[in-house]
Every structure is written in C-alpha cells, then in structure tokens.
Amino acid sequence: MSDPEILFGIYCPPHPQPLLTPEASEGYGRLRDAFETCRKRIEESEADLILVYSTTWPSIIGHQIQGHPEPEWVHVDDDFHYLGSMPYKFKMDTEFAEKFRECAESRGLQSRTVAYDGFPIDTGSIVALKLLNPDNKIPACIVSSNMYANRAETIVLGKSARDAIASQGKKAVVVVVSSLSNRMFTEHIEPAEDRIHSAKDDEWNKKILEFFGDGRLEDLSQLSREIHGQIRVQKVVAYKPAWWMSATMGQHNNYTGEVLSYEALHGSGGAVVVLTPSKGSVGDKEFDEDDVEHYHGDRGVLDAGSL
C-alpha cells in the first residue's frame, strides 16, 4: 500500500475553557488563538478528513469509532458544568469510519463503529471539532482510547488509521486531543491565577514541547512510558497519545514542529502544537522499543509459566 497523505498533525488539550471561557484569562485566550490558527491552516489546506484520537473518550470493548453521520447533542462537562453547555452538530465521514474499523480488525484489533442518537461524544472531541472545524467544512472521524490498551495495541491502532487513510486516498489532518501533565488543582481557582500544578510538571511539559518543536515525534513515542510515570495521573495504564500520533503520522522524527501555545488549564498542561511532515531528521537516536505490525492479544505469560 502507498503511504497515506497526512498533511499535518495537531496536538491540543481537551479542557473546555478555550471554547467556553477564552476571555477568563490571558492564557485561555492564547490557547483559543492557537486553535484559531489551526482552524485557518485546516481551511487553507486541501484536507478532506479530520481524524481525531481523544484521550477523553475511554472505551472497553476494543476501539470504538464514531459512525453517526450527524451526531447532535448539548454536552455538559462533568467537572466544568458551571462554565456552560456545549451544543454540537458534527459531520462525520461514515465511510471512513467503516474503513478504519475494517483496517483495525484486519490487524487483529477488536473494533466497532457506534452510531446512536444521543451518544455522548466526549468533551475533548467536542472542544477540538468545534474550534478546529466550526462549520463542518471537512468531514471528521473520532476514535476512542481503550482503557486497557497499552503500547502494542495503540501502535497497531495508529497503523490501522494509516491503512485506512491510504486506502481511501484521503488527505488527512490528524488531531490528538490530550493534555501534557494532567494533574489539575483539586479546588476552585480563579482563572487569572491559573498555573501549572507543580514545577516538576512544568519542566517536563517544556521538555516534551522541546521535542515537539524539533519535530521529534518518534522520540516522544519512545519516551511515553517515562512521561506516564513522571507527569500523568494514573487514570489509565499508559500515556498513549504520542504512540498513536507517531504510528499514524509515521514513526520518525522528520517533522517541522511548531508550538503555538502552552498554558495552564486548571493546573494541567495544555499545548497546541502543529507537526508537518518534512525532509531531513533532527535528533535521531536508536529506538529501543519494539515495533509491532499486528496485534495478537495478551501473550498468556501465566499459562506459559505453568508448563
């Protein structure tokens, strides 16, 4: 199969403040501006698909892909309900969703499309699609993040997305919705006084953004386990967005990286980053994590050990 045409990738935060209250602090406003820059870039590109991987859509039964042609609802966030409601109506590429499912299954993954009126699309996907594609000019697709999936499964999911984009000849913009450090303050704070929860989180975020700025996406993918241990609240088994983004866009460091904004969102790290495939590599190193093409499920080490 030929390489897929991925125009660029966007890494952006899931919190609703840039959508609902951009005026509440200068930082939220700057994040909103960065989303706006990305919106224009998408509009000026020849993209015919926006593919979203959202860390705020957890799944259990394999990997769920939004398959409703026009999902519509008024969403309210669990924590930030007082900031307001988020009415949405999106245009989904249902043929792509089916193709993506098929490609995921052919690589050994459990996957299904979901197409139900009133399905609760997650805060992160809503924020991203409303800000990046407000008039639904470009059809979108959203894929969930399986709670139990670890590296192999996530890499294979990314490769399935690549297969699907290539086989349909799409020109895609890849969007990963995730914070950097994800520890929020556990009490109310004034938006104007928002800051990164700790110096350690801030230092790690800046290191990650240095890699992003240098276009070193595969290096970040290789560092995922370390990032998870250092600055991710242990809600799920691993920090997966860089694995998926690299496997989807291409597992190398040949990108032009632009960090458009980095701000605190109730203590967590929110950055809007654009990665554009380019020639020439920066900072290649020897990748020591295994690459994987096909998902074979659990390896049954307990069974093997009892022989």
CB of 30 to another protein, least distance (A): 22
- The residues, ordered by sequence, that sit 6+ positions from 199 with a Cβ below 8 Å of its Cβ are none
Binding mask of the shown chain, residues 133 to 172, with x at each position contacting another protein by CB under 8 A: -------------x-x------------------------
Angle at 35 between CA 34 and CA 37, to 5 degrees: 65
The answer to whether residues 269 and 198 touch, using CB atoms and an 8 Å cutoff, is no
Range list of β-strands (E), the chain? 5-12, 49-59, 63-66, 72-75, 86-89, 111-114, 140-146, 171-177, 255-265, 268-277
- Please identify, among the stretches 22-30, 76-84, 90-98, 199-207, the one whose residues bind another protein according to the rule CB under 8 A: 76-84
Binding mask of the shown chain, residues 95 to 114, with x at each position contacting another protein by CB under 8 A: ---------------x---x
Q: Taking CB under 8 A as the rule, does residue 241 contact another protein?
A: no
Number of separate helices (H) and strands (E) present in the chain: 10, 10
Q: Give CA torsion, residues 249, 250, 252, 255, to 10 deg.
A: -40
Q: Taking CB under 8 A as the rule, does residue 93 contact another protein?
A: no
Q: How many CA atoms lie within 13 A of 289 on its CB side?
A: 18
- Please identify, among the stretches 117-125, 133-141, 156-164, 215-223, the one whose residues bind another protein according to the rule CB under 8 A: 117-125
Q: Single out the residue of 23, 26, 40, 61 in contact with another protein (rule: CB under 8 A).
A: 61
What 3-state class would DSSP assign to 155?
Answer: helix
Q: At what angle do helices 224-231 and 241-249 cross, to 10 degrees?
A: 150
Q: What type of residue sits at position 62?
A: G
- 226 vs 78, 190, 229, 232, 242, CA distance in Å? 29, 32, 5, 10, 12
Q: Single out the residue of 14, 18, 62, 139 in contact with another protein (rule: CB under 8 A).
A: 62
User: What is the spatial distance between Cα 223 and Cα 276, in angstroms, rounded to a whole number?
Assistant: 20
- The residues, ordered by sequence, that sit 6+ positions from 68 with a Cβ below 8 Å of its Cβ are 92, 94, 114, 115, 116, 117, 119
Q: Single out the residue of 19, 32, 122, 160 in contact with another protein (rule: CB under 8 A).
A: 122
Residues that contact another protein, how many (by CB under 8 A): 35
Residues in region 173-202 near another protein by CB under 8 A: 183-188
Q: Single out the residue of 70, 72, 84, 169 in contact with another protein (rule: CB under 8 A).
A: 84
Residues in region 261-290 near another protein by CB under 8 A: 266
Block residue for tokens 């554009």 = 276
- Please identify, among the stretches 98-106, 207-215, 233-241, 254-262, the one whose residues bind another protein according to the rule CB under 8 A: 233-241
Q: Single out the residue of 89, 106, 116, 285 in contact with another protein (rule: CB under 8 A).
A: 116
Nearer to another protein, 138 or 152 (CB): 152
Q: Taking CB under 8 A as the rule, does residue 94 contact another protein?
A: no
CB of 16 to another protein, least distance (A): 12
CB of 118 to another protein, least distance (A): 5
The answer to whether residues 161 and 143 touch, using CB atoms and an 8 Å cutoff, is yes
CB of 276 to another protein, least distance (A): 33
User: What is the spatial distance between Cα 271 and Cα 180, in angstroms, rounded to a whole number?
Assistant: 7
Q: Taking CB under 8 A as the rule, does residue 299 contact another protein?
A: no
Q: Single out the residue of 3, 23, 81, 296 in contact with another protein (rule: CB under 8 A).
A: 81
The site for another protein (CB under 8 A) is made up of 57-62, 74-76, 78-79, 81-82, 84-85, 110, 114, 116-120, 122, 146, 148, 183-188, 233-235, 266
